[in-house]
Structure 1
Amino acid sequence: MIREEQAIFQSNFRYDKDQATWNAMIVGNTQNGLIEQSFVVFKEMLDQNVKPNVVTLALILPSCRQSRSIAIGKQLHYFAIHILFENNVWFDRMMNAREKHSPEYSVFLQYGLHGMGRKALTLFHYLRQNSLEPYIDTFVAVLSTCSYTRLVDSSLQIFELMGEEYGIQPSAEHYACVVDMLGRVGRLDEAHNFS
């Protein structure tokens, strides 16, 4: 049966094949013990510029385990990291943290990454009390941390402080942090109207 499906799949090159079609072929091969063929299909998928998704990885991983190939496992690990984090704003901020100007930026993001939003707020208020003026990117880091740890009221207060206390005009990135946070907690109307 799988051979017939492969023949139909191969003969339809004139039609666009989406992720679901490629995923169906991968799982069909995997479930029928055609381990090498599932990798061939995966490679063809990449060659046709069809981007694998999380489902693709979940379907191809059993083949990797069965083949016991370390090289293939490493390639799939790369794809997993790339696919899972490509559109993740939080991960992107973490990866770009060393490019930021303020030394506390990375500290705030690390607090957020480890779910320690309250500690980040304590540090932020310590900086304020000791007259250490936060940089623009410091606010991005604090707002990101509040977003990630769902500290809504604190985030909104800090957003207001930017303009009122420091005269900083919020950038698109600052707005994005607050909108992201409101979306995370299900306050979609507020997120949509936030400006």
Structure 2
Amino acid sequence: MRLRNKPWAKDKLVEHSAYVIQNPTEHKGKWHDVFGNNHPIHIEVGTGKGKFVTGMAKANSEINYIGIELQISVIVGALDRILEDPLPNVKLLNVNAEDLLDIFDSGEVDRVYLNFSDPWPKNRHEKRRLTYESYLKLYESILVKNGEIHFKTDNQGLFEYSLTSFSQYQLLLKFVSLDLHNSTFEGNIMTEYEEKFANKGNRIYRAEAQFRN
């Protein structure tokens, strides 16, 4: 889907630097100072318009959340959501997931969320999938010992691929659901895509994978 250009969006992100952190590499190893507390830090890679990350922040005031989104025209929607209902425990980063090591120190993040990531279905694009081995290595480097990835998608092919990728990386699969909305799982916060796909009757897949380090 082609994104509509929003030439004003970049200036708006800078204007609201209290929520959209500028020059995030300067805060590596000091993210607890940014939030002003020592609460656990959870990040969502590919936060979209922020429905999930803001919903989680509202439901869990004792956890700090950082939404990461590369597309400026998309992350500005997440900013709008925060401005409508300000929360002290959520920040946004307009960065590429490939730069996580430049932004977070070893063991600085407690959990990684991957929600409805681009499936990149063609084999030649495998390395772009956010559950590919090289990305798992990035997450492992910034997560606490025995840190977890929580993953949701409506794409069966990506889900099967990701379960295999997790297993080959020797992650422990703590939870797997092949039909999340018809399961006993409690406390699910939906993303924009999840709500859209679920309303169409699409099955939602979810997994929790833990590093064994």
Asked which structure has the greater CA Rg, the reply is: 1
Normalized per residue, the structure richer in strand is 2
**Normalising to structure 2: TM-score of the pair?**
0.26
RCO higher in structure (CA 8 A, sep ≥6): 2
Greater share of helix: 1
